[in-house]
Structure 1
């Protein structure tokens, strides 16, 4: 399962977790989100999201330790 980050507000959409607060069940792939789904953090559309590579996330987290 992938993780996607909003390039505007850094909200992270995790496919494994979904977005239950907005009616998106766990394990919903990003490409399967409804076309009208908006970022819960800043209300932009899916086009503002970028996929996060797992290795990148690990390196970024290590930078803060």
Structure 2
């Protein structure tokens, strides 16, 4: 399961936990969230989220080039 971070306010959507405040059950993948789901902290859409850890992978990948 992955974590997704809002690029505006740093809220983390944790797939393992879901989003109980909006009735999203635990285990719901980010890709399975409804299209109109919004960040519960700042109200931006899903497009503002990035998968946690991608920055570290990019740096690590560059180290091996």
Q: Same fold (TM over 0.5)?
A: yes
Equivalent pairs, count: 55
Which of 1 and 2 has greater Rg?
2
- For normalisation by structure 2, the TM-score amounts to 0.81
Aligned positions of 1:23-38 closer than 5 A: 23-38=23-38
Alpha-carbon RMSD across the aligned residues, in angstroms, is 1.3
Secondary structure of the residue aligned to 1:44 is coil
Instruction: Report the CA distance between 1:53 and its aligned residue.
Output: 1.8
Residue 47 of structure 1 corresponds to 47
Instruction: Report the CA distance between 1:32 and its aligned residue.
Output: 0.1
Q: Which runs of 5+ in 2 are unaligned?
A: 57-65
Residue 2 of structure 1 corresponds to 2
- For normalisation by structure 1, the TM-score amounts to 0.81
What CA distance in whole angstroms lies between the structure 1 residues aligned with 2:41 and 2:5? 11
Spell out structure 1 runs of 4+ moving beyond 3 A: none
Residue 62 of structure 1 corresponds to none
Q: Which runs of 5+ in 1 are unaligned?
A: 57-65
